[in-house]
Chains A and B, each alone.
Chain A
Amino acid sequence: MLLVVGAVLLIVGYLALTPLGYLLWGTFFDEGGFTLRFFEEALSQQDFAEVALTSFAFSGGATVLAMVIGCALAYLLVRTDIALKRVIFAGSLVPLIVPSILQVISWIFLLAPRTGFLNRIAASLSLGPFDIFSLPGMIFVEGMGLAPLVFLLMAAALRSMDPSLEESALMSGANLNTVIRRVTLPIVRPALFAALLIMGVHSLQAFETPAILGIPDGTWTFTSRIWNSLHGFPREFGPAGAYSVMLLALTGVGVFLHSRLTKRSTAWQTVTGRGYRPRPIELGRWRGPLTAAALGYVVFVVVLPLMIMFFASFQPYFAAISVAATENLSLDNYRLIFERRNILRSTQNSLVLGISSATFIMFLTAVAAWLVVRTRVAGRWVVDNLTFLPIVVPGLVMGVALLFVYLRHPVPIYGTLWILFIAFLTKYMPYGMRFASSSMFQIGVELEESARMSGASWWQSFRRIVLPLLFPGLIAGWIYVLVVSIRELSTAILVYSPGNEVLAVEIWELWQDGRLTQLAALGTLMVVALLALAGLAYKIGSRIGIRETALEPAPLPGEL
């Protein structure tokens, strides 16, 4: 037992602490000792104030947009009798599975100033064009990407709320308006603030939207700046580190506030009833219009971008849907994709990395969760916090930190798949921990104790009792980590090297080369595969009773 637990502790501690340690050390120290030189360099860049302001405007705008849409959807679907609930529910969650780089590019297909499908329609009505390569465009795209996450968080909050709190207000004579204003909103307020902070952290960490939509227009944010200082030669580690530390500080504050908030809000939990089926609120004559609006959202934000990508994948070059365009349909892009030099290697890399890191993470976090949930070992909260620590670190910053470590370290893993493996392990460890610890809570301690009483050693009871019982939860977590690792670009973008690309990087390179229609073909294939994986996770999740968490994209930072 000591051997296994000790090894797990060492690995978790190493994964969580080395990158951050090196990042701070590399940013605050140079050959001459402690220095703030790199911060001075970063701060003295003439547009620093502008970059900071843009980052905040981008993050704030996207957060507000996501909150408005997500909260409205959650209330309509959880508490009212809106029609077509299942369709709208499933539709709203699809963007959580589609890689964000593909979402951003689909929006370009739709809203590029001259060629975008929707802008063409707008032009024929002599409206607009709406330029997506702008700050409002970035806010719109990021907001639409984050809205499903708000929806999930708020739906969970509304569902866990005792319906008799609202019913007793009704019985007191209050009308629906008053009930929402004076009872529902104040009670879900902690959840609202929590969601607000999570969205703030997420949008500050976002890389794809600022890089793809912001850079062409000269609209810089922290993340695109970090990438910019590192992707050319010579790499400017100093300013990149300084920007990373500033970004880390911001997300750290967000996560800290969130954990404070969730701790305090447990004091608000009241006795709940034996779960009388909540009565959905009748929308009356608003039922039709509101159903249409929610359905419109799903069509516009989910179906249309996927359709346009699917359509573009059959075109020789990107053109909006038209009679002329439909005559040019061919499978050439799919052929070209398969002929691409690295494509098989990248697919293989994505799968090998995803499967191996998912497997390793789930085993690691199963032991860590056992330690945290089951034992009374002093200092187990340290393990708990260490496994969650990487959640504060934006994917891009994780890349920077790992470069700091392995470019100055004797271990020769830079330029191999191993550095990607370590990056994925570290970045996705918190997700695995969330699945492992929540399933650990569901296993009665006496099951394990009776195994010990039957004469099993610790390892025997862990392997033969705990692991099999955790298995469904671990599988759900495993698939989740696999999906995220294939989906995410920002963790890989800085640490890959030629020959070690993964699929998300492949898409990024297609974008950089301007091969948009080939990108659409590869994207279509990826979306189909990821949807199939997510469907599998959902099935397993619903069998073990964690329907939504199987699709939930991130452990809430508050669990730090």
Chain B
Amino acid sequence: MLTVEKLSKSFADGQNQIVAVNDVSFEVPDGKLFTLLGPSGCGKTTTLRCIAGLESPERGLIKVDDRVFFSSKTGKRIKPNERGLGMLFQSYAIWPHMTVYDNVAFPLVVERRGQRRSKAAIRERVEKVLTTVQLQRVADRPATDLSGGQQQRVALARALVLEPPLLLLDEPLSNLDAKLRGDMRLELKRLQREIGITTVYVTHDQAEALAMSNLVAVMSEGAIQQVGSPRDIYSRPASRFVADFIGSSNFIEGSIEQRDPDGCYVVRTAAGLLRASSTLDYSVGDTAVVSIRPEHVELKLGAPPSTEPNVWGGIVVMRGFLGEAFDHLVAVGPVQVRARTNPAGSVSRDEKVTILLPSDACSLVPGD
């Protein structure tokens, strides 16, 4: 298990100190794939590089199981080459002067004398790892002869060859083209689950994060905004930033009208009443924002039969064809709500419609 506690790191940029990582704490259980997700400059790569040992944090604690890599309290700091971790770089960092085999064998060849295995044992191990990533046939080729996807797998084999307790992945798919990226995403996930290696994954691509992770931490401005399973993060975003960064969302502003005994809130908005749930506490009268995904909004032809919370009447003002779905913009009084339906359920422009915003899909997040 990886433990990161109260990690902080800042950089000097000319005269200014820029806080890149601000008091970040998380744990990654054994065998899980943990993703740090966020826009560029949010501190995710710096966090990863602190775990790797390539950056020195100012404060905090980093340990894997009982082995402390860094502790500002005791002043302990283990060098990156003594941490024994596997790392995959964004640029793959394949050494151009070596063959595929030499690249993968490097970590074994530079092992401390005494621990170093025999030539035959090294060969056996390298061949096994190359087979795992399906590159056994190109072992003797110069590494730069390979395609981007293959170089990626060489880098992965090199990171795995020492059977590290922790694998660090720094935007490993961002240099691949879209089609290959999809394939490699599944491939990486399959390998990670198969080997069962604890993994920290850094990306700015939300689809990648949702598809691959056991746990996702969304970062912004050096701090973690929310940690949870991909489903949690997607359907129950804890803040407007998370809802906006992951997928697209309707944000409907209002104020708390009443708090129900079951923990749900009723929110008064300019378009009508909404029942929504939240993990946070609000008092009546607080301003708040309801977030709901366009694909969770249900659309029906005709005006609503009665007025009740979460069922509103409106007019379709715009419609766009997306291929596998239709996007509608529905005007409800002064509020515009986006609703996504499959082509069969689509409604044409200027029609009167009823929209249903299921209360379990409505998340209440703090207003600005």
B107 contacts A268, C-beta separation under 8 Å:
no
Complex Cα distance, B106 from A489, in Å, reads: 52
Complex Cα distance, B69 from A171, in Å, reads: 13
Query: What chain A residues lie within 8 Å of B91 (beta carbons)?
Result: 162, 164, 270-273
Enumerate A253-278 residues with CB–CB distance to B below 8 Å.
267-274, 276
Q: How far is the CB of B180 from chain A (nearest CB, A)?
A: 13
A173 contacts B107, C-beta separation under 8 Å:
yes
Partner of A273, one of B79, B84, B90, B159: B90
Q: Is B121 at the interface (CB under 8 A from chain A)?
A: no
B93 contacts A164, C-beta separation under 8 Å:
yes
B45 contacts A168, C-beta separation under 8 Å:
no
Complex Cα distance, B110 from A161, in Å, reads: 22
Query: What chain A residues lie within 8 Å of B87 (beta carbons)?
Result: 167-168, 171
Indicate whether A271 sits within 8 Å of B175 (C-beta atoms), given known contacts A169-B106, A174-B81: yes
Enumerate B93-135 residues with CB–CB distance to A below 8 Å.
93-97, 106-107, 110-112
One digit per residue, 1 when the CB lies within 8 angstroms of any chain A CB and 0 when it does not, for chain B 335-367 equals: 000000000000000000000000000000000
Enumerate A267-295 residues with CB–CB distance to B below 8 Å.
267-274, 276, 279
A170 contacts B54, C-beta separation under 8 Å:
yes
Partner of A171, one of B80, B94, B151: B80
Query: What chain B residues lie within 8 Å of A268 (beta carbons)?
Result: 96-97, 144
Q: How far is the CB of A462 from chain B (nearest CB, A)?
A: 37
Complex Cα distance, B52 from A165, in Å, reads: 15
B92 contacts A171, C-beta separation under 8 Å:
no
B96 contacts A171, C-beta separation under 8 Å:
no
Query: What chain B residues lie within 8 Å of A442 (beta carbons)?
Result: none
Indicate whether A162 sits within 8 Å of B81 (C-beta atoms), given known contacts A173-B110, A270-B144: no
Q: Is B158 at the interface (CB under 8 A from chain A)?
A: yes
| Minimal Cβ-Cβ distance residue in A for B152 | A271
Q: Is B148 at the interface (CB under 8 A from chain A)?
A: yes
Complex Cα distance, B45 from A359, in Å, reads: 49
Indicate whether A183 sits within 8 Å of B82 (C-beta atoms), given known contacts A167-B54, A174-B110: no
A178 contacts B110, C-beta separation under 8 Å:
yes
Q: Is A187 at the interface (CB under 8 A from chain B)?
A: yes
Q: Is A186 at the interface (CB under 8 A from chain B)?
A: yes
Q: Is B1 at the interface (CB under 8 A from chain A)?
A: no
B97 contacts A172, C-beta separation under 8 Å:
no
Enumerate B167-213 residues with CB–CB distance to A below 8 Å.
168, 175
Q: How far is the CB of B88 from chain A (nearest CB, A)?
A: 9
Q: Is A375 at the interface (CB under 8 A from chain B)?
A: no
Complex Cα distance, B107 from A171, in Å, reads: 8
Q: How far is the CB of A161 from chain B (nearest CB, A)?
A: 10
Query: What chain A residues lie within 8 Å of B52 (beta carbons)?
Result: 167, 171
B81 contacts A189, C-beta separation under 8 Å:
no
Q: Is B325 at the interface (CB under 8 A from chain A)?
A: no
Q: Is A335 at the interface (CB under 8 A from chain B)?
A: no
Indicate whether A187 sits within 8 Å of B97 (C-beta atoms), given known contacts A170-B54, A171-B81, A267-B144: yes
A168 contacts B111, C-beta separation under 8 Å:
no
A172 contacts B96, C-beta separation under 8 Å:
no
Q: How far is the CB of B298 from chain A (nearest CB, A)?
A: 42
Partner of B80, one of A170, A270, A271: A170
Query: What chain A residues lie within 8 Å of B96 (beta carbons)?
Result: 187, 268-270
Q: Is A126 at the interface (CB under 8 A from chain B)?
A: no
Query: What chain B residues lie within 8 Å of A171 (beta carbons)?
Result: 52, 54, 80-81, 83, 85-87, 159, 168
Query: What chain A residues lie within 8 Å of B65 (beta carbons)?
Result: none
Complex Cα distance, B168 from A164, in Å, reads: 13
Indicate whether A279 sits within 8 Å of B106 (C-beta atoms), given known contacts A162-B93, A164-B89, A272-B91: no
Q: Is A464 at the interface (CB under 8 A from chain B)?
A: no
A172 contacts B148, C-beta separation under 8 Å:
no
Query: What chain A residues lie within 8 Å of B148 (beta carbons)?
Result: 271
A172 contacts B151, C-beta separation under 8 Å:
no
Partner of A175, one of B45, B81, B97: B81
Query: What chain A residues lie within 8 Å of B80 (beta carbons)?
Result: 167, 170-171
Query: What chain A residues lie within 8 Å of B93 (beta carbons)?
Result: 162, 164-165, 167-168
Complex Cα distance, B54 from A173, in Å, reads: 12
Enumerate A156-208 residues with CB–CB distance to B below 8 Å.
162, 164-165, 167-175, 178, 182-183, 186-187, 189
Query: What chain B residues lie within 8 Å of A183 (beta carbons)?
Result: 95
A271 contacts B151, C-beta separation under 8 Å:
yes
Q: How far is the CB of A544 from chain B (nearest CB, A)?
A: 21
Enumerate B148-171 residues with CB–CB distance to A below 8 Å.
148, 151, 155, 158-159, 162, 168
| Minimal Cβ-Cβ distance residue in B for A185 | B97
A173 contacts B111, C-beta separation under 8 Å:
yes
Query: What chain A residues lie within 8 Å of B45 (beta carbons)?
Result: 276
A172 contacts B90, C-beta separation under 8 Å:
no
Seed contacts A168-B89, A172-B81; 16 additional CB < 8 Å A-B pairs? A162-B93, A164-B93, A165-B93, A167-B89, A171-B85, A171-B87, A171-B159, A172-B162, A173-B162, A186-B97, A267-B144, A270-B92, A270-B144, A271-B92, A271-B175, A279-B54
What 3 pairs between A and B have smallest CB-CB spacing? Answer: A273-B91, A172-B107, A168-B93
> Which residues of A are at the interface with B, using a C-beta cutoff of 8 A?
162, 164-165, 167-175, 178, 182-183, 186-187, 189, 267-274, 276, 279
> Which residues of B are at the interface with A, using a C-beta cutoff of 8 A?
45, 52-55, 79-87, 89-97, 106-107, 110-112, 144, 148, 151, 155, 158-159, 162, 168, 175
Q: Can you pick out 5 interface pairs between chain A and chain B where the beta carbons lie within 8 Å of each other? A: A174-B106, A270-B144, A271-B92, A272-B91, A273-B90
